[in-house]
């Protein structure tokens, strides 16, 4: 990988990471990879936001995340706990959430309903490293 760094290991960005996830537990391996990337960013000291859309909005509902995606994969609940403990935030698409008739009162503690405008506000002028799953 060709990287342009400023000598301290980053690329001169604001130190923020945004992971966009559209998939829920119907593809647990993809969810695992997205959370591994998010946990790595958050535990590495980056301000980290996961933007959940489509089926991924269900992951923000208390008690939904369970299981292990594959042999050798870490349990999904462990990744979710690590992400929360490292200060990671979940931003849940309001259109997708409402379309699925989910209960906002059941959101996990690090989740909030918000769309693209709050996401761009959070990113700000400094930019962010992004990943999409």
Look at residue 7 and tell me whether its pLDDT is greater than 70.
Answer: no
Tokens, residue 95: 């259109």
Span 49-62, pLDDT tens digits: 999 999 999 999 99
Span 14-69, pLDDT tens digits: 699 999 999 999 999 999 999 999 999 999 999 999 999 999 999 999 999 999 99
* Rounded Cα distance, 93 and 60, in Å: 10
Q: Specify burial of residue 126 (Cβ count, 10 A radius: 0-12, 13-18, 19+).
A: exposed
Span 97-116, pLDDT tens digits: 999 999 999 999 999 999 99
């Amino acid at each position: 990988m060709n990287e342009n760094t400023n000598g301290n290991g980053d690329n001169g960005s604001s130190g923020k990471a945004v992971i966009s996830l559209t998939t829920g537990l119907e593809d647990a391996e993809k969810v695992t990879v997205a959370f591994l990337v998010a946990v790595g960013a958050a535990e590495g000291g980056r301000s980290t936001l996961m933007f959940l859309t489509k089926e991924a909005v269900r992951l923000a509902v208390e008690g939904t995340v369970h299981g292990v995606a594959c042999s050798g994969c870490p349990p999904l609940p462990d990744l979710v706990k690590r992400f929360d403990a490292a200060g990671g935030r979940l931003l849940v698409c309001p259109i997708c959430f409402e379309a699925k008739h989910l209960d906002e009162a059941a959101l996990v503690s690090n989740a909030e309903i918000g769309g693209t405008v709050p996401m761009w506000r959070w990113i700000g002028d400094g930019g962010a490293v992004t990943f999409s799953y």
